[in-house]
Structure formats: structure tokens, C-alpha cells
Structure 1
Amino acid sequence: MPEQTHGARARASGRLRRISDRAGERRRAARQLAGLLSRAGRGAVASTILAHLVAGSMPIVFLVCLGRALQLLVSESGSIAVWWLAAGLSAFLLQQLLAPVQLLLSEMIARQVDRYCLRRFTGFALTRAPLRTLERPAVADRLSQANEAFEQMALTPGAAAEGALALIARYTQLAGAVVVVAVTAGPWAALGAAFVAVVTRRGQSAAFNRWGKHVRLAAPARRRTAYVRDLATSTRAAKEIRTLGLIDWIDDRYAAESRGHLEPLWRSRRAVYGRPFVVYTLLGLAGTAAALLAVAGLGAGGTASVGPLAMAVQGVVLCARFGVMFSESDTKMVYGRNAWEALLEFERVCLAATAGERRRRTTAENVPDLAALRSRTITFDGVSFSYDGRRPVLRDLGFQLSAGTSTALVGVNGAGKTTLVKVLTGLYRPDEGRVLVGGTDLVDLPPEAWRRQFAVTFQDFVRYELTIRENVAMSAITHLDDDAGILAELSRAGLGELVASSPSGLDTPLTRATADGRELSGGQWQRLALARSLFAVRHGASVLVLDEPTAQLDARGEAEFYDMFLELTRGVTSMIISHRFSSVRRADRIVVLDGGSVAECGGHDDLVAAGGEYARLFSAQASRFARAGGKA
């Protein structure tokens, strides 16, 4: 007996806890929606509420007018009945006229809220979220879910906010129907009708909210499925898929990923909408039957005439129909809140990831003069960095980039060269050690201002489907109208004929997706990326970083680049990362990375004479070129 009592208490406690959790979740959702609506402006929200109140009351006005007209017709007061019919018709017409007004106001609310959310989302992602955090799988899932909502511009946080307001019309209609039933059929019939409406509606909304949580948890599987689908339908991989004969494999992989995504959701949906749906349906039927029986009893007893009976029946029917999904609200609220929750979680994860990082000590009054720092040496002082906190990519790294000189960075794949560049530009913060700029810790410099000092061509540079002008000027976008500078840097990068041969000159889009666009070869894209960096130097960038700048150039283009290397790097602090020793040998200083640490440092001749790692790599490449009749 004591064990049974204890078990009953535990079950009761569990039920109370679940009820409390659901109530807390509803309160939190209400606070979130209220917070979002505050971004739409009081006037817009007040106007929308008024429109929904009037639109929600019109069906009740129509119902009452129709019932009253029917009553008057039975009592042979036809002339007065016409006025009631006219009033009912006016209510119906007003409801129809209000429908586009409701839609317009709701759209205005959604756009205002989404504008705020998009600014917050993009601002946080581009300025406050650390790059290493954005690359984590959990954060990528949140980003994917938020991006998905804003790309479709349908089930966004703004849609959730305006969907919440749309419930006003529904609940106004319900309240009116309950009052009509209470007046025409008595309180017990009204109580039964209200019970049907509230219970079935509660069951539907609770089930749909639980379903929305399952959909949200399935984000990683949905992201994998979307990747395979995009791979199969985009042009970027079409050549390889066809030449490698991967069409059937892609099809099977998509089917497998889809099953892995959908089958758990189907099971969850059956659990959410299975037995609960039957229970709520039976309760709804029972409540509706009780209310209709109460109304029928009034008619059989002769205590109500035709008009009130018709109003009572219609009122009960309106209450019974309340326990359904509302297309203008429910889907928007569940999926729109999912997008908002994804955005909030994305921010929380990013903030948690940076909680232990040392904050900048600078304020608006004591920001260091970056113009003065341009002529200072950049020092890596014991820098260590790891992506996952376990396997360091950079280990106790220490070397200097002397102002106005060129430094070459060499090492085998995986030595940490590209990671070093990301640390240098402030995209990653060191786990240990410091990056000093003339004695000032990089963490104490405004990150946006510091990055504007750089002209960087990454190995995986982006091919923007924009115009030639925009592709070059993107590195100094405020100088988009500097045609002479753009043309000069295109010429220095070996693309002097590109503009002349393009249909719209500098305004030619670099994509075949437009009628006047054109596509570039891999080598041309690399030259364009180089021109972009040179344009940044032209307009004030003081550090030039080139990561494998000749990887996609042919032998002739590579030789041309080597010939102008000293000219390109003259007067700026430069770093070049390359496996080609014919380019690095011309640098003022060569740093050899091995396992994330500096193995050797010096000039080409000194390093070859030392017979270390650099000499070994150089000899291996030189012998390979010699056999091929080339030159190292």
C-alpha cells in the first residue's frame, strides 16, 4: 500500500509539473510575441487589433440579424424583417471588405517585425558571432533554420506576430457565439458549447505546438537532406555528377536522407495526433451533442420560437467549429516562433562561446590610432589555437611581420597556414598568446577597423555573381565609382582585355544566369580576386595577404605573377602563402611552419644552406621541376 500511494503521488506530481511547464511555455511564448509586436509600432498594432475585432464580430451580427428577421417573418412582420435582413447583409459585406484590410495590416506588421529580426540576425552573424562558433554543427543548424524562414519569407517571426493578432477575430467570434447561445438557449447550453470550443481548440493547439518542437529537433536531418537536394539541382556540381555517373547514387542518397528525416517525424506525428486526437474528438462530439440536445429541449417544450432556436443552433455550430486549425494563425505561430527561437539560440550559443574570452579594453576615447599602427611590426607572441579545444592547429607560434616587407609562409598541407591568416585578421582569437601590432594587443583594436587594413585573397575566395565593377571594388566598396582604379588593377592582375570583351563593360554580370552576363575560367576568377586585393591596397589597405595566389593559373600566368611579385608587394606589409618556391624565394623573409609551429625562419639562400625542412622541400620540388623541364 505505501508503495502504491508513493507511485500515485509521483504520477500526480509529474502531471502537475507538466501542466506547470506547459503554462510556463505559454507565458514565455506570449512574452516573445508581445516583444516582437512592439517592433511593429503602436499605431499599426492598434489598427490591426481594431480591424480584427470588427471582422470577428460581423459573423455574430449577421447571425443575430438573420435570426431576428426569421422571427419577424414567422410573426408576419415582413416590413420590419427587411430591415434586419439589410443589416445582416451589411454586416456580411463589411466582413468581406475588411478581409483585404486585415491582410494588408497583417502584412505590414509582419514586414516591420521581420525587418527588425533580419537586422538583428545579420548584424549578429556578421559582427558579433565569432567565425569559429559559426562553423560549429549546432550553430549551423540554428543558422539553417533561421535562414530557411527568411529565404521563404512565409513562416518568419513576423508571420508569428501577425498570426497571434489574427486570433483576436477568432476569439471575438467565439465570445459572441457563446453569448448568443446563452441568451437564446440558456447558460447550460452556452456552457456546453464553450466547453466544446475551448477543450478541442486547446487540444489542437497543444498538439500542433508539440509537433512544431519535433520539426525543430529534426533540423540537422533536414539540413542534410536539403544539401543533397541542392547538390542534385544546382549547376555547381552538375559536371562531376554527370561525368562520374553519380545520378543514381545521388537519387538513392536523397531517398535515404529523406527517409531518415521524415520517418521519425511520421512516428512523432502519430504519437501527437493519434490517441489525443480521438480523445478530443469524442469530447467535442459529446459537448456538441449535449448543447444541441439542450437547444432541442427548448424547442420541444415550446419555450423558444424559430428565430432564437436558429440563432442558438448556429451559435453551437460556430463553437463546435472552433476546435480546428486556423490557417491564418497556427502554422505561422508555430513555425514562425521556431525561427525566432532558432535566432535566439544562435545568439545564446555564440555569446556562451565567447563568454570566457577577454574583452576589449578600449573605448571610443582611447581607441589606438590605426593609421599610426600601419608602420608598426606585427608580432605573433606564443600564439596557440584549436578548433575543437583538443587538437591544436597552431602551437606556441612566434614570429614577426616587419612593416613594409614581404613574408612568405610555407609548409605541408595542414601545417596551419590559412588558420594563421584568420588569426591575423581577427577572424579567430588565439586560445593562448597574443598578436601584437606595434605593441598593442590585437584584442584591444576595433575588429572592423583592423580588418579594413587588410587586402586578403583567400585560397577559397568567393566567386560573386555580381558585376565586374562590384567584384573588384568589393574590397573598398565606398570607391565603387573609381573606374580608373578598377581598370588599372584589372590590368595589373592580367585582365586588361576583360572589360573590353564584355558586353556591358565594367557593369557586366559574371554569371550566365543573366542575358548579358558572362562566365570566367578558374584562372580568370583568381586574377579577379587578386585585382580585388590590389584595389584595397590602392585605397588604403596596409597589409596584403595572398593565399595560394597562383593555384588556378597556367604556367604562363604563374610566371607573370612571379615577375611582378616584388612590384605588387612594394611598400606594404605582405604575406604570401604558397607551395610554389619560385614565388616564395623572392620574399624578404620565409617562415616555415611544421605542425603549427615555426620550424625555420630566414631568407631563401640562408634556409637552403641550413639544410633543414625548407631545403628538403625546395630540393624535392626543384628535382620534380627539373625532370619536367621546368624551373623551381
Structure 2
Amino acid sequence: MHRYTESARRYALHARLLWRAAPVHSVLNVVLVVASAATVTFGIVATGRLIGTLPAAVKAGVGSPAADRAWWWLAAAVAAYVTGPLIHAAENAVAQVVSARYLRLVFDMVAEVGTAPYGITHLEDPEVAGRLDAVKRAMRDWTFVTGVEQTWNLLATRLSGVGALVVAANWNWWAALLAAGSYALMAKVLVAWLATIFDDLLEATGNQRRQASYVRDLMTGAPAAKELRLFGLADWLVHRYSTAWRDAMTVVWRNRHRNLWPILLASAITLVVNAGVFALLARDASAGTVSLASLVTVVQALLALEAFGPLGDNQSALGRNTSTATMLVALRRRLGLPGLPARSPAAEPAEPVEPAEPVEHVEPVEPEPVPAARSAAAVIELREVTFHYPSRTEPTIERLSLHIPAGQSVAIVGINGAGKSTLIKLLCGLYPPDAGIIRIDGGDPSADEATRNRVAVIFQDFVRYHLPLRDNVGFGAHTRHDDDAVLAKALDDAGGTSLLDRLERGWDTVLSSEYAEGTDLSGGQWQRVALARALAAVAGGAGVLVLDEPTAALDVRAEAALFDRFLEVTRGMTTLLVSHRLSSVRHADRIVVIGSTDPTRTGTGIVEDGSHEELMAAGGAYARMFSLQAARFAAAGASETAVDPR
């Protein structure tokens, strides 16, 4: 019973989504669906009446009242069979509009799952990430789209079954109900079975099946092609893929076979019931209690009761659709989002604009160029901040306090795993702290969007967007995305002017060779584009600029040059530099060393704090790390400038 209740709940959710996406067009389609079902029912009646009048019409001859009745029913039947396809065509046309708006709605719902909760904790949760990936994959499948489009055809078919039931009930109401009920039973059982299969597929897609898909993409994609051939991995990957796929699908296959017996039983019941109903009709016809017209009409109606039964691929597609939508809504509620998004208010009509008074013609004056706005530097305050990842029991950062005045450049250094990148993510509000306070100009970045907009970061794994150069730089200042002066200034400050000069389409060049007229960039060129993106953020209101080891792939001299360039063009701004190469950040106003402050604890705190010269003179952890790196680079032939510990 629970499975059948769940099916009804899913159909109700589907109806709410349709209404939310396109209320007017949905109502129009319902009207067309009812009209379509009515024409089918009328066609059944008209055909039966036509057959019933033919013997008398033939016997009476042309021009007789009997012949006139026959001609009338013929015209009615033709009208029904001609009108039906026309209504169906109109229904499909409106359905396309509903489908497009429905898909836009659910795509927005998926996008909101990934973006509306500002933090990234939920995206790093394997279970949530797996379910989100399963929903996205299911929505790309043709059955999801087909399920939306076929909703109205399925509804029209069901309603035509209601009309057929009414017609058949005029002969024998209980026999008609019994036949319709047997079909409905089989449909219910099949829908529940399909729902189980689709749910299993979504679960498998979100876990083991996702691993199988990853291995498949390795075998068929370009990124791993070189190593796959070099190391002879083809056979191993084929075996790994088949094993992972088989393990993922075992549950699906087992449930398919285990839940088949209700379908077989329902099919047997339907067969027995319909055989009995048609035998009863044959008995009545042979006894003369059913006329020829009624016999033809009832036979058509009984056959049309199949509309209550399984409806093949269309019903399977709708099942796939409702299963996916149900998982999406459940995922949204788990993340604290409303199951369905609030309907956007209708745009209010604009106020009429009064015509301006005519003015005397004045020669236009060329405006002076306005320099890109520079945001005020921000103050950063961390007090007793503690944070641990959900997958770990020990804190990554523990009771860390740090004050950074406006306009100061600060380098955050420490050994790998000390929590440097975690600290930056906390400053961005990507994670809320477990305890303590984080403030940027008095605002909480984990709760206030305006405060978050004050921070611009280039992460180590910064995104290389397959989009035009304009977007790759302009995303830093999305409020001034189309301001060429802002973009040009940011790219010039990042040392990327020569890059712009060599691109054939300039700012509109797509930075990927996978697109026509696109181009690839070298690692160093991408570094400058990323730096320009962060510098553009200043024009967009950022008051804190952060470089979180984005130059790890560069050699030490190139990294040092880029960091020095960054400090030069951001002088007066609040800047944070994160790097494991100490020679690259020694010119910062202040260096903060984070690490374990208590051997009995795993959390990170501040170990040392001061300028490069002060920390070297202190001879502590920073001096030891710097000297060790300097000796290593000197032994490797690095330049004296890059490693000079002065």
C-alpha cells in the first residue's frame, strides 16, 4: 500500500511542478485533453450507431429516414475522427510550451541546490554530491524530457478510458467496472515496479554507478588518453569498468526480478476478468438482449478500457520523471531549501515617462576617461576561531585569533596540512566556523552577502572557464563586467596586455581550443588571467585580495615575480598571500606562521607573527623553514635573488 500511496504523492508533486512552471498553459492543456477524450468517446458512440443504422438504411434505400440517420451518424463519426487529431496537435503544441517552462524550472531548482546554500560543505558531502550527480544525469536522459511532454497524452488516454467506462456501463455497470479495475490494478503494480527500478538506478548512479561512469570516461576521453596508452591500462580499465558496473547494477537487477511476481499476478487477473466480460457480452448478444449498434459500441468501449492499464514507454518516461523530481525535492529539503521555489512575482508595469521639455541643441563634449574605482581596504578580525571538517573528529583550526588592519599585506605560511587554505575558505564564508568570530569590516562572511563580496580570491585550483577572455577577467567584477576600461586596467596590472594583443578576437576570444576560433593558454598565461580576475574585483567592491597558492605549478622565480607584481599593484589594499615557498612572500608587510601550538592537540594556531626580518632574527620555525628552502634551492641552482634570506 505504501508504494501506491507514494506513486500518488509523486503524481501530485508532478502536477504542482507543472502548475508552478506554466499555470495558464497547463489549464489550457487540461481543457484540450478533456476535449480530446470527449472526441474519442463520441467517436465510439457514433461508430456504433452508424453500424447499427446500416441494415435499415440499406433496406429502406437512399432518401429514406433510415438512410438519413445513417448519413448523420457517418458525418458525426467522421467529425469525431477528424477533430481528434486536430485537438491532439494543438495539445502537443501547448505541451511544448509547458515542457520548456517545466524544464527551466527544474533546471533552476538543480542550480539552486549547487549555489543557493553559499557554503560548500554540502557539495563535499559524498552522499549529497552523489544524489545531486544522479539527478543531473537523469535529467539529461531523454526519458526525463519525454515524461514531461507525454503527461498530457497519458492524461488524455486515461480520460478517454473514463468515457469508455461510462459507455460500457450502459450495458453492464459491474462488468465494466470489473474490467476497468483489472487494467487499473495492472497499471498500479507496474508503476510501483517502475518507481522501484528508477529509484534503484538513481541510488546506484549516485554511488557505485558513478564510479563506473568515471572509469568509462577515462577510457573514452582525451585527458587520460596519453597515460592510458603509455602504461597499457586499457585492459585493466575495461575489467574495472565491467566489475564496477556489475556491482552497481546487482541491486537493480535483483529488485527487478524479485518484484516481478505482482505484475505476473495482475496480468493473469486482467486476462481472466476480460475473458469473462467478453463471454458475458457474447451471451447477451446471442440471447438478443444487445442490439447490433450496442454490441459494436460496447466492444469498442471494452477494448478502450485498456486506457486504465499500463501505457508502455510513455508511462515509463513519466515514472522516470517523477522519480527524479521526487529525489530533487527531497535533496532540496535536506539542504534547508523549499521543496518548490517561490513563484517569481509578475513584473510590474513601468511608470509612464513624461516627455522631456525640448532643449536647445548643444555640441556633445567628449567625456574624460574615468579611472576604475578602487575599493577601500578592509579590516579582518578573527577571534578564537575553531573549525573541523565533518569527516574529521579533530579540529583543523583551533582557537585562532588574528587581526589584520586595513591596507596591510599579510603572508600566511606553514607546513602542508596546517590549515592555510581552510583559513582562506573561512574568510570567504565558504564554511561557517564551529566556534569563534570572523569579521570583515564588522560583517560576517558566512551570513552576509555584502561582506562576502568584499573578498576576492585566486585559489590554487582556480577555474579555467571555457568562455571568452572578457568573462574570465570580468567575473571578478560582475557588476562592471562590460566595462572595458576596468578589464583592461586589471589585465594590464596583471601583466597580461601582451596576451590580449595576440588574441585574434580580443576580449571575445574563447579560452579553449575545443571551440571554433578558441585558443588554449599556457600555465603562466592562465595565472595572469586569474590574477586579473582578482584585480578586477577591486572595481567590483572587493576590499580584501587573496592569493591562495595559485602559482604552485610555476617555478620559484616565476612565482616570486608574480607575487611581487601582486604586492606592487595592490599596495594600500588588504592582501593575503598563501604559499609554501617562503622566498615568494618575504616582501609582505607581515608574515603569519600557522601550525600546531600544542603537541597534544591537532588544531592549528598562530606559531609566529612578524615581518620577514623580525622572524629571521628570532631564529624560530620560520627562520628554520626559510633557511632549509634557501639551501635546497641554492643546491638546485636557483638564483640568489630568489633565495637570499636577507
TM range, smaller chain? 0.7 to 0.9
| 2:308 corresponds to 1:306 | no
Corresponding residue to 1:133 among 113, 116, 122: 122
Q: What is the aligned partner in structure 2 of residue 424 from structure 1?
A: 427
- SS of 2:336's equivalent in the other structure is helix
For residue 93 of structure 1, report the CA deviation from its aligned partner.
1.8
CA deviation vs aligned residue, 1:470-492 (integer Å, no higher than 9, x gap): 11111012322332332333233
For residue 64 of structure 1, report the CA deviation from its aligned partner.
1.9
Aligned mates of 2:11, 2:563 — CA distance in 1: 64
| 2:185 corresponds to 1:212 | no
| 2:216 corresponds to 1:229 | yes
Aligned mates of 1:390, 1:351 — CA distance in 2: 24
Letter of the 1:466 partner, please give it. Answer: L
1:236-385 matched pairs, under 5 angstroms: 236-272=223-259, 274-320=260-306, 322-328=308-314, 330-351=315-336, 374-375=376-377, 377-385=379-387
Q: What is the aligned partner in structure 1 of residue 404 from structure 2?
A: 401
Contact 1:146 1:339 in 2 (8 A): yes
Aligned mates of 1:499, 1:376 — CA distance in 2: 31
Relative to structure 2, which stretch is displaced further, 398-407 or 339-348? 339-348
Letter of the 2:405 partner, please give it. Answer: S
1:86-105 matched pairs, under 5 angstroms: 86-105=75-94
**CA 1:507–1:107 in structure 2 vs 1: closer, same or farther (change >3 Å)?**
same
Give 1 or 2: higher helix fraction. 1
Aligned mates of 1:347, 1:324 — CA distance in 2: 31
* RMSD (Å) for aligned C-alpha atoms: 2.6
- SS of 2:207's equivalent in the other structure is helix
Aligned mates of 1:538, 1:178 — CA distance in 2: 70
Q: What is the aligned partner in structure 2 of residue 50 from structure 1?
A: 31
- SS of 1:510's equivalent in the other structure is coil
CA deviation vs aligned residue, 1:73-110 (integer Å, no higher than 9, x gap): 22324553233223212211222122222222222223
Aligned mates of 1:154, 1:447 — CA distance in 2: 41
- SS of 1:544's equivalent in the other structure is strand
Q: What is the aligned partner in structure 1 of residue 517 from structure 2?
A: 516
Aligned mates of 2:197, 2:86 — CA distance in 1: 35
Aligned mates of 1:56, 1:222 — CA distance in 2: 42
Q: What is the aligned partner in structure 2 of residue 571 from structure 1?
A: 572
**CA 1:198–1:566 in structure 2 vs 1: closer, same or farther (change >3 Å)?**
closer
Contact 2:138 2:202 in 1 (8 A): no
**CA 1:275–1:225 in structure 2 vs 1: closer, same or farther (change >3 Å)?**
same
Aligned mates of 2:628, 2:438 — CA distance in 1: 33
Contact 2:13 2:326 in 1 (8 A): no
For residue 464 of structure 1, report the CA deviation from its aligned partner.
0.1
Letter of the 1:377 partner, please give it. Answer: V
Letter of the 1:485 partner, please give it. Answer: V
For residue 27 of structure 1, report the CA deviation from its aligned partner.
5.0
Letter of the 1:337 partner, please give it. Answer: T
Letter of the 1:415 partner, please give it. Answer: A
Letter of the 1:519 partner, please give it. Answer: D
**CA 1:153–1:535 in structure 2 vs 1: closer, same or farther (change >3 Å)?**
farther
CA deviation vs aligned residue, 1:259-286 (integer Å, no higher than 9, x gap): 12222211111122x2112201110110
Contact 2:462 2:530 in 1 (8 A): yes
Contact 1:69 1:84 in 2 (8 A): yes
For residue 215 of structure 1, report the CA deviation from its aligned partner.
2.6
- If the length of structure 1 is used for normalisation, what is the TM-score? 0.86
CA deviation vs aligned residue, 1:144-193 (integer Å, no higher than 9, x gap): 1332344457516xx7666555443122211222222232x433432332
Aligned mates of 2:142, 2:274 — CA distance in 1: 39
Count of aligned pairs: 588
Q: What is the aligned partner in structure 1 of residue 453 from structure 2?
A: 452
Letter of the 1:298 partner, please give it. Answer: D
Relative to structure 2, which stretch is displaced further, 41-50 or 540-549? 41-50
- SS of 1:342's equivalent in the other structure is helix
**CA 1:456–1:82 in structure 2 vs 1: closer, same or farther (change >3 Å)?**
same
Corresponding residue to 2:178 among 192, 196, 221: 192
List gaps (5 residues or longer) in structure 2: 59-65, 338-372, 597-603
- SS of 1:131's equivalent in the other structure is coil
Q: What is the aligned partner in structure 1 of residue 133 from structure 2?
A: 144
CA deviation vs aligned residue, 1:221-249 (integer Å, no higher than 9, x gap): 23223322333333333333333333333
Corresponding residue to 2:159 among 167, 172, 179: 172
- SS of 1:500's equivalent in the other structure is helix
Q: What is the aligned partner in structure 1 of residue 17 from structure 2?
A: 36
For residue 625 of structure 1, report the CA deviation from its aligned partner.
1.0
Contact 1:526 1:553 in 2 (8 A): no
Aligned mates of 2:330, 2:157 — CA distance in 1: 32
**CA 1:57–1:204 in structure 2 vs 1: closer, same or farther (change >3 Å)?**
farther
| 2:609 corresponds to 1:623 | no
- SS of 2:309's equivalent in the other structure is coil
1:56-135 matched pairs, under 5 angstroms: 56-75=37-56, 76=58, 77-128=66-117, 130-135=119-124
Aligned mates of 2:178, 2:20 — CA distance in 1: 40
For residue 522 of structure 1, report the CA deviation from its aligned partner.
1.8
Aligned mates of 1:375, 1:497 — CA distance in 2: 29
Aligned mates of 1:283, 1:558 — CA distance in 2: 76
Aligned mates of 1:318, 1:279 — CA distance in 2: 22
CA deviation vs aligned residue, 1:276-325 (integer Å, no higher than 9, x gap): 12201110110110111011102221222333222222222222464223
Aligned mates of 2:590, 2:572 — CA distance in 1: 15
Q: What is the aligned partner in structure 1 of residue 615 from structure 2?
A: 607
Letter of the 1:621 partner, please give it. Answer: Q
Aligned mates of 2:523, 2:4 — CA distance in 1: 58
Contact 1:178 1:193 in 2 (8 A): no
Identity of counterpart residues, as a percentage? Answer: 36
Q: What is the aligned partner in structure 2 of residue 543 from structure 1?
A: 544
**CA 1:532–1:300 in structure 2 vs 1: closer, same or farther (change >3 Å)?**
same
Contact 1:385 1:431 in 2 (8 A): yes
Aligned mates of 1:376, 1:192 — CA distance in 2: 76
**CA 1:569–1:583 in structure 2 vs 1: closer, same or farther (change >3 Å)?**
farther
